[in-house]
């Protein structure tokens, strides 16, 4: 029994040391008038058949955060050419050079969402979410524009149509996976989606993701809660650059219903902190 307790204490000390040793620095608190081109690159995308008519990516005053913050918004309409499967549309912002970033910490506020279903395709539940993270390393030799062998770590905050949570409650999940092809449409889960808790709509939450190559772990954390650890056994080679991001996404069932199915998410981000690999 004493040995088991000792192991737990040692593990806790090592973990706290790992977290404390990350040495995060403020990357951006969005107090300027416009986004900093030396820190960020914009991006957006939608699968074939989806239509994004409204989106934004700009700095705004946020009354809940009581500060200026990055606002990302996306309203998209479903692919009407099928009644099975789903499609995705995103508005995102990339770190200008994410190759050596090992920790991303952000204050996130999901302000508004729309999550509706499709009568013609009830098998896929609409999901809207924030996503933080991206590829942290490649198990081989990374190639620009090609995700093959990239290993992703991400935290999501959002809601699915089939959620049993009360209205206005969002779920927070972690996930780690290994991409098998160029666009990562084929992948292997390293750490299945794991639950980090919940947050209410229009309430801020601090989220953190860290790669610890020394222990071959991803460490996820919500606020000051207990860290959630995902170990990996793949080779952690060099890091791909430029694809770590802050993002809002609509995942909509392909749906021929009329009126056309739409989903949206409106979220703010503040106090972005990072730490770097040696």
pLDDT tens string 227-239: 999 999 999 988 7
Q: How confident is the model at residue 191 (pLDDT cuts 50, 70, 90)?
A: confident
Residues 6+ apart with CB under 8 A from 85: 121, 124, 253, 254
Q: Where are the alpha helices (DSSP H) in the chain?
A: 2-20
Using only the alpha carbons of the chain, give its radius of gyration.
Answer: 19
What's the CA gap between 125 and 147, in Å, rounded?
A: 27
Mean pLDDT of the region 6-28: 56
Domain ranges of the chain: 26-276
In whole angstroms, what separates CA 189 from the centre of its chain? 15
Report pLDDT for 17. Answer: 44
Q: How confident is the model at residue 141 (pLDDT cuts 50, 70, 90)?
A: confident
User: Which of 270, 273, 192 minimizes the C-alpha distance to 230?
Assistant: 192
pLDDT tens profile 258-268: 999 999 999 99
Report pLDDT for 242. Answer: 72
Mean pLDDT of the region 108-124: 97
Fold of the domain spanning 26-276: Jelly Rolls (2.60.120)
Q: How confident is the model at residue 22 (pLDDT cuts 50, 70, 90)?
A: low
- If one counts every other C-beta atom within 10 angstroms of the C-beta of residue 138, the result is 23
Are the CB atoms for 237 and 140 separated by under 8 Å?
Answer: yes
pLDDT tens profile 77-110: 999 999 999 999 999 999 999 989 999 999 999 9
Positive or negative, the CA dihedral 104, 25, 66, 37 is negative
Mean pLDDT of the region 170-199: 95
Q: How confident is the model at residue 6 (pLDDT cuts 50, 70, 90)?
A: very low
Q: How confident is the model at residue 251 (pLDDT cuts 50, 70, 90)?
A: very high
Report pLDDT for 176. Answer: 97
Task: Look at residue 3 and tell me whether its pLDDT is greater than 80.
Answer: no
Q: By percentage, how much of the chain surpasses pLDDT 90? A: 86
Burial environment of residue 166 by CB neighbours within 10 A (0 to 12, 13 to 18, 19 or more): exposed
Task: Look at residue 170 and tell me whether its pLDDT is greater than 60.
Answer: yes
pLDDT tens profile 194-223: 999 999 999 999 999 999 999 999 999 999
Task: Look at residue 189 and tell me whether its pLDDT is greater than 80.
Answer: yes
Report pLDDT for 85. Answer: 96
Task: Look at residue 10 and tell me whether its pLDDT is greater than 50.
Answer: no
């Amino acid at each position: 029994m004493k040995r088991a307790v000792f192991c737990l204490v040692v593990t806790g000390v090592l973990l706290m040391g790992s977290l404390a040793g990350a040495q995060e620095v403020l990357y951006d608190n969005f107090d300027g008038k416009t986004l900093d081109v030396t820190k960020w690159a914009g991006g957006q995308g939608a699968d074939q058949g989806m239509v994004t008519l409204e989106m934004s990516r700009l700095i705004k005053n946020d009354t809940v955060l009581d500060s200026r913050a990055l606002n990302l918004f996306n309203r998209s309409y479903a692919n009407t050419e099928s009644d099975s499967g789903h499609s995705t549309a995103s508005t995102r912002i990339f770190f200008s050079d994410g190759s050596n970033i090992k920790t991303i910490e952000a204050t996130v506020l999901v302000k508004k969402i729309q999550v509706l279903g499709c009568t013609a395709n009830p098998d896929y539940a609409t999901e809207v979410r924030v996503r933080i993270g991206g590829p942290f390393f490649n198990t081989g030799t990374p190639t620009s524009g090609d995700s093959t062998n990239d290993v992703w770590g991400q935290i999501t905050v959002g809601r699915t149509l089939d959620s049993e949570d009360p209205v206005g409650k969002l779920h927070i999940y972690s996930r780690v996976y290994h991409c098998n092809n160029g666009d990562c449409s084929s992948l292997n889960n390293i750490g299945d989606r794991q639950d980090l808790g919940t947050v209410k709509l229009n309430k801020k939450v601090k989220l953190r993701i860290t790669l610890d190559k020394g222990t071959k772990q991803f460490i996820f954390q919500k606020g000051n809660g207990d860290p959630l650890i995902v170990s990996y056994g793949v080779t952690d080679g060099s890091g791909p650059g430029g694809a770590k991001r802050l993002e809002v996404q609509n995942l909509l069932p392909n749906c021929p219903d009329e009126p056309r199915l739409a989903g949206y998410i409106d979220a703010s981000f503040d106090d972005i902190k990072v730490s770097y690999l040696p």
